[in-house]
Amino acid sequence: MTKFRTTFLGAAVAVSLAAAGLNLTLNSAVLAFTPAPQSSAVGSGVGEIAGKIYFRGQAPGLRPIQMAKDPICESVQSGPVLPEDGRVNSNGTLPNAFVYISKGTGNLSVRAPTEAVTVTQSRCSYQPHVFGIMVGQPLRVVTMDPTTHNIHIVPKSGRDWDVSQQPGSEPVTTKLTHPEIMVPVHCNIHPWMSAHIGVVTNPYYAVSGDDGAFQIKGVPQGSYTLSIWTATFGTQDRQVNVHAGETATADFTFASQ
């Protein structure tokens, strides 16, 4: 195992407007996320990989995020906000695990999509928190909050990308040019804001959800190394054989450290 010009809206009216638009903001953010361009069904010559990420042991004690540095961020929360990293689902599984094919015998050569993957700044957080993108695929960053945000992408290979967005700004777009698991994203204005990007060379990846499950569709038949990354509990690899028209099952278990 180894191991994204602050402008303050000086009137209280602005804060109340922010709270009034809260539900619409969240729904827009969810709809904006573009998943991996995978086949919608198990068909001729392809199969799929599905599984669950389990957690064993004592879940980390997560402290609520303190947003008092920006009164607008603090005002739009409906209650305490816990960090995403280290979170364990109520059913004893892990969310936010990035699962991807790292190598294999099948034909993994796929051109990067021209459709952008979108990350949204909403409620002073990045949504989604963990996501994947192919090398050369556009990354689109949207802001929905009534406060200034900053997106700072820090890859190990290539140049940093550091852009600020004021309330109501148009989306900004960039591309990541080198594969990397994972590229960190943070906001220089709000230190609690973070995200992780899996930059890959094929579209066969997934992120586990609130039930700990993942599914990778349309995988060419072959033998693969399936790799998994978590922010807190490390990484694992698993060998998986994919047969046409079948689902290969690959479960993972992580333990407290």
Q: CA–CA distance from 87 to each of 81, 194, 215 (Å)?
A: 12, 14, 20
The runs of H, that is alpha helices, within the chain are 12-20, 22-32, 71-75
pLDDT digits (tens, 9 = 90+) for 24-67: 333 333 333 444 444 434 446 899 999 999 999 999 999 999 99
Give mean pLDDT, residues 81-99: 96
Which residue in this structure is represented by tokens 């947003």?
67
Q: Is the pLDDT of residue 15 over 60?
A: no
What's the distance, CA 92 to chain centroid?
20
Q: Is the dihedral of CA 211, 216, 221, 224 positive or negative?
A: negative
pLDDT-based confidence at 240, cuts 50/70/90? very high
pTM to 2 decimal places: 0.82
Angle subtended at Cα 197 by Cα 242 and Cα 189, rounded to the nearest 5 degrees:
165
pLDDT given at position 79: 87
C-alpha triplet 78, 72, 209: angle, nearest 5°: 45
Q: How many CB atoms lie within 10 A of CB 132?
A: 24
Which of 11 and 51 is assigned the larger pLDDT? 51
| pLDDT at residue 199 tops 90 | yes
Report d(CA 238, CA 225) in Å as an integer.
6
Q: Which CATH class is domain 12-255?
A: mainly beta
What confidence score (pLDDT) does residue 109 get? 87
Q: Helix crossing, 12-20 with 22-32: angle to 10°?
A: 50
Q: Where are the domains of the chain?
A: 12-255
Q: Are strands 46-56 and 247-249 parallel, antiparallel or unpaired?
A: parallel
**What is the per-residue pLDDT for 24?**
34
Q: Please give the order of strands across the beta sheet that includes 125-127.
A: 125-127, 117-122, 138-143, 172-175
* 139-182 confidence digits (pLDDT tens): 999 999 999 999 999 999 888 999 999 999 999 999 999 999 99
Average pLDDT of the chain to the nearest whole number: 86
115/133 Cα distance (integer angstroms): 11
Return the closest-CA partner of residue 100 out of 243, 212, 5, 237.
237
**CA pair distance 182, 196, nearest whole angstrom:** 6
Pick the more confident residue, 211 or 107.
Answer: 211
pLDDT classification of 72: cutoffs 50, 70, 90: very high
**What pLDDT sits at residue 52?**
97
Cα gap 130→184, rounded to integer Å: 10
For residues 182 and 198, the answer to whether their CB atoms sit within 8 Å is: yes
